[in-house]
Amino acid sequence: MCHNCGCSVTGTAGAHHHHDQGSAPAHGHEHEPGQGSRTLHIEADLLAKNNRLAAGNRARFQAAGVAVINLVSSPGAGKTTLLERTLADLGRTLRFAILVGDLQTSRDAERIAASGVPVRQINTGAGCHLDAHQVAHGSEAFDLPRTDILVIENVGNLVCPAGFDLGEDHKVVLLSVAEGEDKPLKYPYMFQAASLLLITKTDLLPYVDFDLECCKAFARQVNPQIEIIEISCRSGAGLPAWYGWLEAGVALKRAPSAKRQE
């Protein structure tokens, strides 16, 4: 029995199944326009169910004192490479758990598993984003009270994951310098939803026409509060700032609840 959504399926990351909502839907008033038909006024949000499950995830993560990051980007911006490098550099000082979403294959999970960190792959089939239900089940196998940070690597897609809350503390969006500086204006929803923009592959800047300052200005037009860090996983430039950002997030979570240590 799942504590988050009340469904009977357990331990099947990425499995899609429907479950009834706990209570009968509340109705507004009804009236009869004529000929046997009636109108129901319901005012129901289409994302209500995902938002309810995300709130359940968030409460569970909060209780365990684990920081949760939702990594989003277009395919190929460097999410998995960033994780590999981060785990190699911080894996001995912070306890990570990783959930990886892709349409098919477990290639990313296999790459990350090489670091020895607990990792689960969610295959969405044809689904273009992870949802809160998949994350609820996908994270069941982790020992969250003994985890400092859960990183959810979302499906590579700069559109759809923006609207689906997973229960994370922050969305972190990656944009590689090979993609073009106008992405924040073309895909504003994702940059609006993110707390941090990582501009990746900066070692390629001498070889591509990418206007760094212009990109940052575009991102701030969409989201004036967004933080921006430039990084290269190849050269290591900017990574200390990213690690500092992660560690500050973990410290915030540790403060209220004394974490169980092994």
Partner 1 sequence: MHELSLTQNLVEIAAEHARAAGAKAILSITLEVGDLSGADPEALTFAFDVCSRGTLAEGASLNIRRVPGQGCCAACAATVACRTPTAVCPACGALAVTCIAGTELRILELEID
Of the pair 118, 180, the CB lying nearest partner 1 is at 180
Identify whether the C-beta of residue 177 lies closer than 8 Å to the C-beta of residue 216: no
Phi first, then psi, for residue 8 (nearest 5°) are -95, -5
32 interacts with partner 1 by CB under 8 A: no
Cα 201 to chain centroid, rounded? 21
- Using CB under 8 A as the binding rule, whether residue 214 contacts partner 1 is answered as no
Overall residue count recorded for the chain in this entry: 262
* 84 in contact with partner 1 (CB under 8 A): no
Contact pick of 58, 146, 220, 254 for partner 1 (by CB under 8 A): 220
Per CB under 8 A, the list member of 188, 203, 243, 247 interacting with partner 1 is: 188
Over the window 93 to 122, marking each residue x when it contacts partner 1 by CB under 8 A and - when it does not, the resulting string is ------------------------------
Rounded Cα distance, 83 and 255, in Å: 25
Residue from 1, 22, 45, 92 binding partner 1 (CB under 8 A): 45
Q: Which two tokens stand for residue 121?
A: 């792959």
Q: Which stretch binds partner 1 (CB under 8 A): 53-61, 91-99, 140-148, 222-230?
A: 222-230
Distance separating alpha carbons of residues 200 and 215, to the nearest angstrom: 12
Question: What is the three-class DSSP state of 241?
Answer: helix
Residue 196 makes contact with partner 1 by CB under 8 A: no
CA distance 70 to 161: 9
Of 143, 186, 136, 199, nearest to 164 by C-alpha is 136
Report how far apart, in Å, the C-alpha atoms of 24 and of each of 27, 33, 43 are.
9, 24, 15
Q: Can residue 163 be called a binding residue for partner 1 (CB under 8 A)? A: yes
Q: Which two tokens stand for residue 167?
A: 């229960």
By C-beta, is 36 or 206 nearer to partner 1?
A: 36
Residue whose CB is less far from partner 1, 49 or 259:
49
55 is a contact residue toward partner 1 (CB under 8 A): no
Size of the site for partner 1 (CB under 8 A): 41
Helix (H) or strand (E) holding 121: strand 119-123
164 touches partner 1 (CB under 8 A): yes
Least Å distance, CB 222 to partner 1, is 6
Residues forming the site for partner 1 (CB under 8 A): 18, 21, 24-25, 27, 30, 33, 36-50, 127-129, 131, 157, 159-160, 162-164, 185, 188-189, 192, 220-224
